[in-house]
Amino acid sequence: MEKIKERIERCMTARPHTDLQSEILNVIAAPIYLYTITGVFYYSCVFIMPYYYGSGTWTLFLHRSLLLVIYFQMMSNWLCIRLVDNSLKTASKHFSINKGSHHKDNESELQGIVVNGTNQAMKSSIPGPVSAPSTPRRSSYWSWRLCKKCELTAPPRCHHCPFCDNCILKRDHHCFFTRRCIGFYNQRHFVVFLVRAMFGTSYTSVYFVPYLFKVVLLSA
């Protein structure tokens, strides 16, 4: 019970760069998705399709098979999104990514730019003391930078996620329905998941809306 309480308190406490609503949504969105998609699949196969095509017909079998394919595709891609790891820590084990190496190169490059710029300014300006810029140049979006939380050198387009507490390669956003970040390795699964979800939603809405009006509302 103590571990459960600690987990609940940790989930209900907003971490840095997040808010309490996002923390709650990160906990409840995935179970709500599983309950909703499974309930829609069961209700469509058991009640809606037999209402239109009767029981024991080939048309009913074909529509149930199509619903099963859509459900399987959505759930398989949902699992792939969850199971595929996009973190920089995992990638650094397979590739030679040294801590702070590129960051040091950026610092040395920055120092060279400051010194060369100072020398050019001394040559082109009138004689007098020339001081280097007080504020260092910010690293560009396409440059390597050091993540202070992960203590790893992050490549371009790699950002730290406060929910996953990891640097995610090619991070697009954090998906609350899967509790995972969409990044380099699972982006294709996310796109296929969206396409299947759009097709399944449109397909079931064609049958569900008339069923809701004729059976549920009129019989109430």
For residues 52 and 121, membership in a common domain is answered with no
Q: What is the mean pLDDT of residues 96-110?
A: 46
For residues 79 and 97, membership in a common domain is answered with no
Q: What is the mean pLDDT of residues 58-62?
A: 92
Q: Is residue 75 scored above 70 in pLDDT? A: yes
- What's the structural domain count of the chain? 2
Where b means 16+ CB within 10 Å and e means fewer, 36-61 reads ebeebbeebbeebbbeebeeeeeebe
Q: Which domain holds residue 123?
A: 88-185
Q: pLDDT tens for residues 195-217?
A: 999 999 899 889 888 888 887 77
For residues 133 and 206, membership in a common domain is answered with no
For residues 94 and 172, membership in a common domain is answered with yes
For residues 99 and 175, membership in a common domain is answered with yes
Residue 199 is classified by DSSP as: H
pTM above 0.75, yes or no: no
192 by Cβ neighbours in 10 Å (0-12 / 13-18 / 19+) ranks as middle
For residues 143 and 178, membership in a common domain is answered with yes
Give the length of the chain. Answer: 220
Most confident stretch, 78-82, 110-114, 155-159: 78-82
For residues 106 and 136, membership in a common domain is answered with yes
For residues 94 and 179, membership in a common domain is answered with yes
Q: pLDDT tens for residues 159-200?
A: 899 888 889 999 999 999 999 999 999 999 999 999 999 999
**Which tokens hold the place of 169?**
């390669």
The pLDDT, as a whole number, for residue 54 is 85
Q: Is residue 10 scored above 80 in pLDDT? A: no
Q: What is the DSSP string of 45-77?
A: IIIIHHHHH-SS-HHHHHHHHHHHHHHHHHHHH
The pLDDT, as a whole number, for residue 149 is 84
For residues 93 and 171, membership in a common domain is answered with yes
For residues 140 and 176, membership in a common domain is answered with yes
For residues 157 and 192, membership in a common domain is answered with no
For residues 142 and 171, membership in a common domain is answered with yes
